[in-house]
Amino acid sequence: MIKEEFTMDHIKLGYAPTRRSIFSAPDAVKYRGLTADRLRELGIDFVDITDINAEGLLYNDEDMKKIAEKFKAEKIDGLFLPHCNFGTEYECARLAKELNVPVLLWGPLDERPEPDGTRLRDTQCGLFATGKVLRRFRIPFTYMTNCRLNDPVFERGIRDFMAVCNVVKKFKNMRILQISTRPFDFWTTMCNEGELLEKFNIQLSPIPMPELTDEVKKVKAEKTEVKKVIEYCRTNMIVEIKDEELENVAALKVAMKNLITKYGCQAGAIQCWNQLQSELGVMPCAANALLNEEGIPVVCETDIHGAITALMVEAAGMGETRSFFADWTIRHPDNANGELLQHCGPWPISVARETPKITYPLAFDYPGAITAEAKHGDVTLARFDGDNGEYSLLLGNAKGIDGPKGMGTYLWVEVDNIKRLEAKIVEGPYIHHCVGIHKDVVPVLYEACKYIGIQPDLYDPIEEDVKAYLRGE
């Protein structure tokens, strides 16, 4: 198994603490400072507003406009609105409307009232007011429960919100390299390119297969990058294919990466059979796996929705954990709620429980696939999909379990109720493909759906549990 050393994705928050004049301004200033200190302590990148006014607080229109301009210039990914006392709800709403980024609403827990009954901040009451006004403005927002700065819920809530921001950021800026058409036989993987663009600004960059094979020839002639990939494969995997076949695998990886870079894409979807085999004599699975390991998802069978899912899932994990693209295949022979997740061999090697082999796949007579069982443990499974103009995100939890030996990259998983899951997939709008990740990102993906305009669809009845987690319970 390969040691994971991935760089965490970077998110920048706009920090706009707010107050209201009828409550204690000094206490509001105090808590704006304490909250900023806590963010720095947690290593959170944020843009402050101490240069806007003497208090560094949001409470009037003139300053709101200046704050909006500053945050736009700084290209913030999310807006944090701490209510340092009651706060000014309409200024929070106006600012959020201007910025069109995910919004985090929170306030520090109030102290005991003064002996004479005086209350200095009334933070919770202000949060109630702001929530209502944000709704009037049709602004989706995330609420982090009224708590103290040293409460573990605060840190968890901040980090989860940053992951939500990351999903939204990635989703709204997706461009996917489509290599050739979908395989004729796979009507399941058809997508509506125009609709994805119109609804979500998801862009496809389609190229014909000869453009890929021409790039393969080019990088083989240049040799340098191909040689590096060959060395990497021999160091990190067991190679059971011929030297010239391994060279084609390596060249395919380099070529796909070059084209993904050339067209400004973040992921790819390839027609993995049959024309590619006629041209290069190899399967693309191992090449896909190598790119997946680098955090560039490349999925099989030109499954555009699958590539979208992979980008969302990895964003929810803040880029720290690699995902894997799988078929739902067969039931476990011994476990009533077990299922085999498998594909010919495109999974990143850091997912593997054992040293991967570059060999032949299950269903084809061409080399270039990987065989390895994946690590067990808890996983999130997800699938972005849609039809008839409606889109949703299937998601839920599973855990890796023991099972019969498989071919390709595979993992036996156990879910809570396989019959319920089976019905959910058959009845749609989903297909036999999903994306897994060894991390619980269900709450993050669930919350992100409100910002990107799709329906979260939990395959287990855990919605109240997810909501409770997000509330800080």
For residue 472, give both structure tokens. 């800080």
Task: Verify that 214 and 317 share a domain, yes or no.
Answer: yes
Cis amide bond preceding 192, omega within 30: no
Q: Taking residues 235-257, what's their average pLDDT?
A: 97
How much is the pLDDT for 189? 86
Boundary of a domain, candidates 137, 171, 205: 171
The whole-number average pLDDT for the span 250-265 is: 98
Residue 53 domain flag: yes
Per the domain annotation, does 4 fall within a domain? Answer: no
Average pLDDT, the chain: 94
What pLDDT score does 116 carry? 72
Is position 123 within any domain?
A: yes
Q: What pTM, to 2 d.p., does this model score?
A: 0.95
| Last residue of one domain, picked from the residues 127, 148, 171 | 171
Whether 105 maps to a domain, the answer reads yes
Residues 205 and 121 in one domain: no
Instruction: Looking at the structure, tell me whether residues 39 and 155 fall in a common domain.
Output: yes
Per-residue pLDDT band at 1 (split at 50, 70, 90): very low
Residue pLDDT, tens place only, 82-91: 999 888 999 9
pLDDT for residue 120: 66
Residue 322's pLDDT band, with cuts at 50, 70 and 90, is: very high
| Domain of residue 346, residue span | 175-471
From 146, 171, 196, give the residue that closes a domain. 171
Buried b (16+ CB within 10 A) or exposed e, 27-66: bbbebbebbbebbeeeebebbbbeebeebbbbbeeebbee
Judgement on whether residues 303 and 208 belong to the same structural domain of the protein: yes
Can you give the length of the chain in residues?
Answer: 473
Q: Tens digit of pLDDT for each residue in 129-147? A: 999 999 999 999 999 999 9
Same domain (yes/no): 149, 179:
no
Residue 94 lies in a domain: yes
Do 275 and 416 sit in the same domain of this protein? yes
CATH number at residue 185: 3.40.275.10
Is the same domain home to 183 and 51?
A: no
How far apart (Å, rounded) are the C-alpha atoms in residues 41 and 159?
A: 13
Give the pLDDT score at 23: 72
Please check whether residues 89 and 141 belong to one and the same domain. Answer: yes
Strands 409-414 and 369-373: parallel
- 47 and 131 belong to one structural domain: yes
* Residues 331 and 208 grouped into a single domain: yes
Beta strand extents in 230-351 (DSSP E only): 238-239, 267-270, 298-299, 323-331, 338-343
Cα separation values, 47 from 11, 257, 265, Å: 11, 34, 28
Of 6-20, 305-319, 370-384, 402-416, minimum mean pLDDT range: 6-20
Average pLDDT over residues 427-431: 94
- 23 belongs to a structural domain: yes
Output the domain CATH number for residue 167.
3.40.50.10940
Say how many domains are in the chain: 2
Q: Per the domain annotation, does 437 fall within a domain?
A: yes
Task: Name the more confident of 335 and 113.
Answer: 335
**Do 391 and 343 fall into the same domain?**
yes
What residues are paired with 194 via a beta bridge?
none
pLDDT-based confidence at 60, cuts 50/70/90? very high
| 292 is a domain residue | yes
Distance CA 388, CA 247 (A): 43
Better pLDDT: 250 or 122: 250
Do 189 and 283 belong to one domain? yes
Residue 323 CB-density burial (10 A; 0-12 exposed, 13-18 middle, 19+ buried): buried
